[in-house]
């Protein structure tokens, strides 16, 4: 059985490197074509040739990534990643909002990938073995090159009709880009042999070597990151219990005959069992935190975006209409304010494709301000999801 299998998911080709249970020497390699829309077929193919590992590390190919050198204000890593996730269109040239983002603080290099696509891949591999790491391919490649002492600009496979270039200096990824084949690309050297493997397998090897890397730098949704942290904490707790039991078994075996040692072990287990209560309680608390993180992440995904509604109100309300308050409960909205002709507002708002079920909540009342007459309004409507 392999301890770790690192898998590079390129746009048309996947490569895998298996590491043995002891050390970090490559035990087996594999390369195959795959369809990103059918990851289950790739997992079945790898499993049939490499068996079941203890852990899996994924490296998302540059062709699926949107790399960007970003400038963000000083803040904790989680807050800086949130800035990229809340308004991804400000930083990445994509229209999709469901993005998973990773950020390398130095040199502030960010990567984004489709959240739906990534989730399908992770679920497919999780059916085979626990996925302990998901990162951008340039980061995994930089790790492998650093272990071989190589640095400079290197050519990395990107999307169709593209060339990828990554820069590694001082063992750190400094830059990554996708360059169309029709445009001149910076001079880049081929990836060298790393630990006896050709450069084609360097990224998969780097993914396997980084299986215990920092969660904050990984391409994971908030819910996935919370589950991975909880899994790592559980592993530490269980490893501590196993080590404690192993030490006691060893001490018992040294002193006396086999029968006396077994008796002492039985007594020791009976004595230790009550102490396992806090560890089991910690496990249950971690599981509860995991569920809470998943629920918060799901709530964040389901939260309505108020910008389309505010844009519709700005475009549809006539001059002289003033919104004094606006409240939203999910897709249901209520606005209150004043206008010269309150009755005309419902047809105007109802004509917008972004709003439906526009109606008055209460009757209007008139009042004068200077030499003009105004009417109050209280209108409710439902906001339709953006298409």
* Of residues 112, 23, 17, 113, the one with CA closest to residue 57: 17
Q: What are phi and psi of 113, to 5 degrees?
A: -145, 155
Residues of the chain with pLDDT under 50: 300-302
Q: Give the model confidence (pLDDT) of 149-195 as tens digits.
A: 999 999 998 988 899 999 999 889 999 999 998 888 788 999 999 99
To which H or E segment does residue 64 belong? none
State how far the alpha carbon of 292 is from the alpha carbons of 123, 250, 298, 299, in Å. 20, 41, 10, 10
Q: Give the model confidence (pLDDT) of 290-307 as tens digits.
A: 777 665 555 544 455 788
Do 358 and 384 touch, CB atoms closer than 8 A? Answer: no
pLDDT for 290: 72
pLDDT for 189: 93
In angstroms, the first-to-last Cα distance of the chain is: 47
Q: What are phi and psi of 211, to 5 degrees?
A: -65, -25
pLDDT for 317: 92
pTM exceeds 0.85? no
pLDDT for 209: 93
pLDDT for 242: 62
- As to burial, measured by CB atoms within 10 angstroms (0-12 exposed, 13-18 middle, 19+ buried), residue 379 is buried
């Amino acid at each position: 059985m392999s301890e770790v299998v690192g898998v590079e998911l390129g746009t048309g080709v996947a490569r895998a490197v298996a590491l043995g249970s002891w050390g970090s020497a490559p035990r087996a390699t594999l390369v195959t074509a795959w369809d990103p829309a059918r990851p289950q077929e790739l997992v079945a193919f790898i499993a049939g040739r490499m068996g079941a590992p203890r852990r899996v590390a994924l490296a998302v190919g540059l062709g699926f990534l949107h790399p960007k050198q970003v400038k963000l204000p000083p803040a904790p890593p989680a807050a800086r990643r949130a800035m990229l996730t809340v308004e991804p269109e400000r930083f990445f040239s994509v229209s999709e909002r469901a993005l998973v983002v990773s950020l390398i603080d130095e040199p502030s290099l960010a990567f984004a990938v489709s959240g739906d696509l990534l989730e399908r891949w992770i679920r497919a591999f999780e059916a085979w073995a626990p996925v302990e790491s998901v990162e951008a391919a340039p980061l995994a490649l930089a790790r492998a090159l650093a272990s071989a002492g190589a640095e400079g600009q290197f050519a990395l496979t990107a999307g169709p009709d593209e060339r990828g270039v990554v820069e590694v200096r001082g063992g750190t990824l400094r830059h990554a880009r996708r360059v169309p084949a029709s445009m001149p690309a910076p001079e880049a050297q081929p990836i060298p042999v790393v630990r006896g493997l050709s450069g084609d397998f360097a990224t998969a090897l780097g993914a396997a070597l980084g299986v215990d890397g920092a969660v904050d730098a990984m391409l994971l949704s908030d819910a996935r990151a919370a589950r991975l942290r909880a899994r790592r904490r559980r592993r530490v707790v269980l490893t501590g219990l196993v080590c404690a039991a192993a030490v006691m078994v060893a001490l018992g075996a040294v002193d006396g005959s086999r029968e006396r040692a077994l008796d002492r072990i039985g007594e020791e287990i009976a004595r230790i069992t009550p102490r396992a209560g806090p560890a089991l309680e910690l496990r249950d608390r971690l599981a509860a935190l995991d569920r809470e993180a998943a629920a918060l992440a799901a709530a964040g995904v389901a939260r309505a975006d108020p910008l389309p509604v505010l844009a519709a109100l700005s475009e549809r309300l006539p001059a002289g209409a003033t919104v004094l308050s606006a409240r939203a409960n999910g897709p249901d909205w209520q606005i209150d304010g004043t206008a010269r002709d309150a009755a005309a507002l419902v047809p105007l708002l109802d004509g917008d494709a972004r709003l439906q079920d526009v109606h008055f909540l209460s009757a209007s009342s008139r009042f004068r301000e200077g030499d003009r007459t105004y009417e109050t309004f209280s209108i409710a409507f439902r906001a339709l999801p953006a298409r």
